[in-house]
A and B are shown apart, each in its own frame.
Chain A
């Protein structure tokens, strides 16, 4: 029997923060280890238009603030401009 696994508070924080910062975004947040501190974020938003990859990633990091590199030990990022 499959037991549903509740999203961790940190995963919820990431989703809510990015939804608030990028209301138009297509967003997928995965906890890659199940431990609540390693995540991968796929995000597509028009805000990335005219930004290079470094700038796109910085925008996401800035939205998440100080937690990246601290409570969030690892954050894999895939950024896209929506088709």
Chain B
């Protein structure tokens, strides 16, 4: 496992909800990342954001890690949920909020 793969894996496995995005939740640098941030905020669940623009190795590495060629990428419980389209579909259909709630709740109970 390469260093960057391990670095990404640690973040993905160490947090119930992780968004790899361009920019930060306060200052998204891409419309697709901005839409996903907005949806996540509306669910009210805390999430870990990783700004891929801050590290070229992560920016390329996340594509291989997720077997997914574009950013943003949303991971819940260590698994890729999708990019912007799938995440927004799930938000609009009402699937996203309960998925995130369960992930947050499970992480909280395993910390005790």
Given A54-B80, A69-B63: A78 and B70 interface contact (C-beta under 8 Å): no
19 pairs, CB–CB < 8 Å, chain A vs chain B: A53-B82, A53-B89, A54-B80, A54-B82, A54-B86, A57-B82, A57-B85, A57-B86, A58-B67, A58-B68, A68-B69, A68-B70, A69-B63, A69-B69, A74-B32, A74-B70, A75-B70, A77-B85, A78-B85
B interface secondary structure, majority? mixed
B84 near A76 (CB under 8 angstroms)?
Answer: yes
Task: State which residues 24-43 of A face B: CB under 8 Å.
Answer: none
Compute how far the CA of A77 lies from the CA of B85 in the bound complex, rounded to whole angstroms: 6
Task: State which residues 63-83 of A face B: CB under 8 Å.
Answer: 68-69, 74-78
Q: Which residues of B contact A58 (CB under 8 A)?
A: 67-68
Residues of B within 8 A of A (CB): 32, 63, 67-71, 80-86, 89
Q: Is A22 an interface residue (CB 8 A)?
A: no
Interface pairs A-B: 3 shortest CB-CB = A69-B69, A68-B69, A53-B86
Compute how far the CA of A68 lies from the CA of B69 in the bound complex, rounded to whole angstroms: 6
Chain A CB within 10 Å, residue with most, of B67, B80, B86 = B86
Interface residues contributed by chain A, number (CB under 8 Å): 12
Given A53-B89, A74-B32: A69 and B82 interface contact (C-beta under 8 Å): no
Q: Which residues of A contact B82 (CB under 8 A)?
A: 53-54, 57
**What is the number of contacts between chain A and chain B, taking CB atoms within 8 Å?**
30
Q: Is A48 an interface residue (CB 8 A)?
A: no
Partner of A61, one of B69, B81, B84: B69
Compute how far the CA of A72 lies from the CA of B85 in the bound complex, rounded to whole angstroms: 16
Shortest Cβ gap from A25 to chain B (Å): 17
